[in-house]
Amino acid sequence: MKCEVILLNMMDVLIEKYRQEMFESAKKDGLSSITTIKASQQLDRILNIGMQAEPSKWLERKNQVLN
């Protein structure tokens, strides 16, 4: 159980990192810039890994964060 929480927290940190990177790049260079696209792709990969690993726990955790 503790490992799951640590993993979810690490994923949250990565998600936030690439989300911020994507937004900053989009503001600076535009939505179609290579840096924005790369950050978006990294964010997608992380989200996909989370969904494949533990879909129900992942969705439960994301719902807690959003509420």
Per-residue pLDDT tens over the stretch 43-54:
888 888 877 766
Q: Is the pTM of this model over 0.85?
A: no
Higher pLDDT, residue 57 or 35: 35
Secondary-structure breakdown of the chain: helix, strand, coil percentages, each rounded to the nearest 5: 90, 0, 10
Q: Confirm if 26 and 36 have CB atoms less than 8 A apart.
A: yes
pLDDT tens digits, one per residue of 5-26: 777 778 888 888 888 999 999 9
The residues near 67 (Cβ < 8 Å, ≥ 6 apart) are: none
All structural domains of the chain, each given as residue ranges with its CATH number in brackets, are: 2-59 (4.10.280)
Percent pLDDT > 90 in the chain is 31
Task: Locate 19 and state its tokens.
Answer: 């989300």
Confidence grade of residue 34 (pLDDT, cut at 50, 70, 90)? very high
In angstroms, the CA 51 to CA 31 distance is 25
